[in-house]
Amino acid sequence: MSQDYSDEMEEVKKQFDKKVVRKAANEDDEEDEDTENFSNHKHSNILSNKSKKGRRQQDTQNEYDLYDELGDLASENADKNDNEEEDNNLNQDIDLIIKVITQEKYCPDIILYQQQIIDDLFELIQNQEMQIKEFEQSINDDKKFQHPKNKFLQDLMKEECERVKYLIKLYTRTRLFKIQKYYMNIIKHSKYDYLNLQEKEFVKNYAALRQQIFQNHLLKTLPQNFKDIGIESDDQETNSQVQKQNFEKIQTEVPNQDKAVFVKFKQGGNYDIDGQQVQIEEGEIIMVAYKHIKTLHQNLDVDLV
């Protein structure tokens, strides 16, 4: 009986030890699990912090990129506004030169040279030609610009410059025609204030050449009795003076002040036309002899159309 009791106690002790070992093992597993969970949680927090930091950096970079885009957009808008302003100035000057050509063409007399308008057009042409050269250089150097549209744009810019040059030449030729026709009237009545420097020099040289041709190639070929017409003195100097007066009489051509022109009034009101008071509305167009509205035209109160 004593032996059986000892065996039974030994068996109970072994089972107790097994329970203790299993409990200890379970506690170690839970501790490891807690440790792992803590480690994972800590690692997750670190990744979360890194992610938040990365997002903040990305947001900051996006803000910088946005500022850069806004700066580029502002720069593009500024360039666009400058180009639009330049185009507007060009259009205004072209409208002015067309108007000036119309006045010069329809006016029978020589009128004041528009120096400021011509200078502005020459400056715009110079700037446009510089832009064309820079644009052409970009096309030749950079393949990104080697596109048919860019070449087409370049040709349009060149065409625009040629058109403006043509308008300036047309204005110059119109004035030159009248200066050659009325050069003696310009000299006789001292209308030099209506000319620019080149035109003044041209009138003086042109008059000297015409007189030289008249004396050396016309009078010398005439019979003596025709040469002596109007000459009553034997003095050579007096004879030369008479020949000069005869030349002036032959060459002097007076602008036709009686030429009928169409006139557009800029403002309405009562106007003295040919000694009569006439009520004119703003923008009204009438036909009248130029001599009756010459003063109004010189004062820029009316336009010839």
**Cβ neighbours of residue 207 under 8 Å, at least 6 residues apart?**
183, 184, 187
Residue 76 has pLDDT above 60, yes or no: no
- Over residues 217-241, the mean pLDDT reads 60
pLDDT of 111 reads: 93
Helix or strand holding residue 303 (H, E): strand 302-304
**Cβ neighbours of residue 179 under 8 Å, at least 6 residues apart?**
110, 186, 195, 199, 202, 203, 206
* Separation between Cα atoms, residue 288 and residue 250, nearest integer Å: 30
The neighbouring-strand residues paired with 285 are 264
**Cβ neighbours of residue 210 under 8 Å, at least 6 residues apart?**
183, 251
CA distances from 268 to 7, 87, 104, 170, 300 (A): 141, 33, 24, 32, 14
Q: For CA atoms 80, 81, 86, 88, give the dihedral sign.
A: positive
> Other C-beta atoms within 10 Å of 108: how many?
20
User: What band does 41 get if pLDDT is binned at 50, 70 and 90?
Assistant: very low
**Cβ neighbours of residue 145 under 8 Å, at least 6 residues apart?**
138, 139
Residue 70 has pLDDT above 90, yes or no: no
Tell which wins on pLDDT, 26 or 153. 153
Looking at the chain, the whole-number percentage of residues with pLDDT higher than 90 is 36
Cα-only R_g, the chain: 49
Amino acid at 48: S
Residue with tokens 């107790």: 16
Q: Which letter does DSSP use for residue 215 in this model?
A: I
269-273 and 260-265 beta bridge pairing: unpaired
Of 198, 38, 170, residue with least CA distance to 100: 170
Residue 210 has pLDDT above 50, yes or no: yes
pLDDT of 61 reads: 55
Lowest mean pLDDT among 169-183, 226-240, 289-303: 226-240
Q: What's the per-residue H, E or C state across 221-286? A: HCCHHHHCCCCCCCCHHHHHHHHHHHHHHHHCCCCCCCCEEEEEECCCEEEEECCEEEEECCCCEE
Residue pair 121/97 in contact (Cβ under 8 Å)? The answer is yes
* Separation between Cα atoms, residue 173 and residue 104, nearest integer Å: 10
3-state helix vs strand vs coil in the chain, percent to 5: 75, 10, 15
pLDDT of 259 reads: 93
* Separation between Cα atoms, residue 102 and residue 303, nearest integer Å: 9
Residue 108 has pLDDT above 90, yes or no: yes
Residue 47 has pLDDT above 50, yes or no: no
Taking only the tens place, the pLDDT of each residue in 148-189 is 777 888 888 889 899 999 999 999 999 999 999 999 889 888
What is the Cβ-side half-sphere exposure of residue 198, based on CA atoms within 13 angstroms?
A: 5
Residue with tokens 């009438």: 286
